[in-house]
Amino acid sequence: MNRDVYGEALYDFHELGQLAEPLLLHSSYGDIEEMPVEVFYRQEEDIPELEFIALSLCDGKVLDVGAGVGVHALYLQEKGFEVDALEISEIACNIMRKRGVQHVIHADFFKLEGLRYDTLLFLMNGIGIAGTIDGFKKLLEHAKTLMTDRGQLIFDSSDISYLYDEYRINRPEHYFGEINFQYEYKGQMGQPFKWLYIDQQTLIKIAHELGWVVQILYEDDNDQYLVRMETKKEDHELAGPIDDQTEMDS
């Protein structure tokens, strides 16, 4: 079984306030970056404008997908929202509980069933869990099963086409925003994973094909943008009954 080196770095920072060694991120475009773990522990005053706009748009019951150590979940919780913090890293889930996040779900988003939310929130490019364009289509279809009839999907992403010029590498045959990553910490390699960055035109085309209404709400100077999406009304009528008896690890 592969170690959760991402979770181990989060744990060390939580316990010690710093890392003895950096958390490294290897990428398929040939770069190795040092991941600033402190970004996962930001205080309210350090939350960027894009994320503040997203948080201000949250409504009703919220699912914070890829919640990390709970920056956004804690913010919403303090504002009186009912929020479930979903995270696939068990170590990160334990840290969230220690930090006071009230409703933590240790699960894979794609396997989550029987729950309904008014807002599905994916921040810090959390939509990247889709991995590929096909995965993004599956994510949108699965999201419909988790949303109330007034539900909304809020996320940010980036157009990373500039990377291919910056690193002078050829574009791949697959969609250029599909990147392979692997964490390294204390000499240990984590499980390789795919991550998706999607440009606005591709996003809008796919969303419209699958029956979503798209609003681009904000763009910054780094080709990063914020999206709010909702489905057309008739799609919810096909979502099926709610099973309130589904057991989750919460």
For residue 143, the domain's CATH number is: 3.40.50.150
More confident residue, 3 or 141: 141
3-state SS, residue 133: helix
Q: What CA–CA distances, in Å, run from 104 to 23, 82, 206, 229?
A: 24, 12, 31, 25
Flag whether pLDDT at 31 surpasses 70: yes
Q: What CA–CA distances, in Å, run from 85 to 10, 26, 29, 233?
A: 16, 27, 31, 27
- Predicted confidence at residue 14, as pLDDT, reads 97
How do strand 23-27 and strand 178-185 relate by DSSP bridges? antiparallel
Flag whether pLDDT at 237 surpasses 60: no
Q: How many domains is the chain built from?
A: 2
- Predicted confidence at residue 169, as pLDDT, reads 76
Same domain assignment for residues 70 and 187: no
The average pLDDT across 217-228 equals 93
Same domain assignment for residues 221 and 185: no
Structural domain includes residue 54: yes
The average pLDDT across 51-77 equals 98
**Cα gap 44→71, rounded to integer Å:** 8
The average pLDDT across 215-233 equals 92
Report phi then psi at 13, rounded to 5: -65, -40
Using H for helix, E for strand and C for coil, what is the string for 42-81?
Answer: CCHHHCCHHHHHHHHCCCCCEEEECCCCCHHHHHHHHCCC
Per-residue pLDDT tens for 137-160? 999 999 999 999 999 999 999 999
Structural domain includes residue 173: no
- Predicted confidence at residue 233, as pLDDT, reads 67
- Provide the token pair at 63: 């699912």
**Cα gap 190→15, rounded to integer Å:** 21
Same domain assignment for residues 31 and 151: no
**Cα gap 172→198, rounded to integer Å:** 15
Give the pTM: 0.90
Report phi then psi at 146, rounded to 5: -110, 0
Same domain assignment for residues 102 and 29: no
Per-residue pLDDT tens for 104-123? 999 999 999 999 999 999 99
What range does the domain containing 29 cover?
1-37+180-196
The average pLDDT across 50-64 equals 98
**Cα gap 106→92, rounded to integer Å:** 9
- Predicted confidence at residue 168, as pLDDT, reads 74
- Predicted confidence at residue 236, as pLDDT, reads 46
Same domain assignment for residues 104 and 133: yes
Same domain assignment for residues 8 and 65: no
Structural domain includes residue 249: no
The average pLDDT across 81-110 equals 98
The mean predicted confidence, pLDDT, of the chain is 91
- Predicted confidence at residue 222, as pLDDT, reads 81
- Predicted confidence at residue 2, as pLDDT, reads 73
Flag whether pLDDT at 11 surpasses 60: yes
Amino acid identity for residue 27 in this structure: S
How many percent of the chain have pLDDT more than 70?
A: 92
Nearest in space to 174 (alpha carbons), one of 141, 205, 135, 204? 135
